[in-house]
Amino acid sequence: MRGIDTLVYLAVIAGIVYAVFFYGKDENPTLRPEPIVEVEPEIPPDLGSEIYVPLADEAVNSTGTAYAVADGVWVTARHVVNGCDQVGLILRETQGVLVTSKTEAENADVAVLRVDLDRTPVPVRFADAGLKTGQLAFHVGYPQGAPGEAASKLMGSETMVQRGRYLGRERVLAWAEASRTAGLQGSLAGISGGPAFLDDGAVIGPTVAEAPRRGRIYTAAPENVESTLVAAGAAAAADATVAPGPFSLENYGDEARLLRHDLRVAKVMCVVNR
């Protein structure tokens, strides 16, 4: 009965989420072409700057994104699941599954979720050595609660400082937004925790923040993803070898749609009981 009750509970919650975030919004992988400024390749620099990200004092009902990295193991952003009374993954409109446990990084915006749901994992890259300035990344997830994706080019690394219900200070990779798929306007909120794919189909880290006025997107540093997986006892996630893609500016909308359809990338639901 407990399992049935859980399914009913999730169906109700997922139905609410669907009504709020999905109704009337169709996934459209057609690209809106925008020019990419060519940058001479070089090792991405430390930009020596800080970005301040405020956090609410208390968590609220919200959604984010997660991606599968091993059997039953998913990665998302810490701020997506911190302070939640229940966390679940939305599978299909009114279907969901509860997260059985979560491991939050102590000083990084990364969290590892344990879920009774096995999906083909995406390959994870645990170092940014060898990345070049101007290299493309493709951010996949559920911005504003609906399917969407953006492309960006690597600028370097910065320090992200989070203040609110917890304090955090960490190195992040900074990317200049280059394009979006058609129909996606405004904030990328909700894509947090979603994977940032390199063109070879490997994930460099979860998307954790944006600075709209600066036109920047930030991803967690890969070493922080690795250390959080180790803390969660899931270091073997790096062995995933079935890569999507390759990604390009011409196909990343279609590749993102397939990842969501195959539930390798899923919407995260945070429920707060108050």
Residue type, 175: W
Residue 133 CB: number of other CB atoms within 10 A?
15
Pick from 24-28, 41-45, 52-56, 226-230: least confident: 24-28
Pick from 4-8, 12-16, 207-211, 220-224: least confident: 4-8
Q: What's 168-233 look like in SS3? A: EEEEEEEEEEEEEECCCCCCCCCCCCCEEECCCCCEEEEEEEEECCCCEEEEECHHHHHHHHHHCC
pLDDT greater than 50 at residue 218: yes
Specify the pTM: 0.84
Express each pLDDT in 226-237 by its tens digit: 999 999 998 654
Specify whether the CB–CB gap between 88 and 42 falls below 8 A.
no
Express each pLDDT in 50-96 by its tens digit: 999 999 999 999 999 999 999 899 999 999 999 999 999 998 777 89
**Which of 6-10, 23-27, 107-111 is modeled with the greatest confidence?**
107-111
Q: DSSP assignment of 105-132, as one string?
A: -SSSS-EEEEES---PPPPB----TT--
Residue type, 144: Q
pLDDT of residue 41: 52
Residue appearing with tokens 């994706």: 149
Binned at pLDDT 50, 70 and 90, residue 199 comes out as very high
* Domain 2-271: CATH architecture, name and number where available: Beta Barrel (2.40)
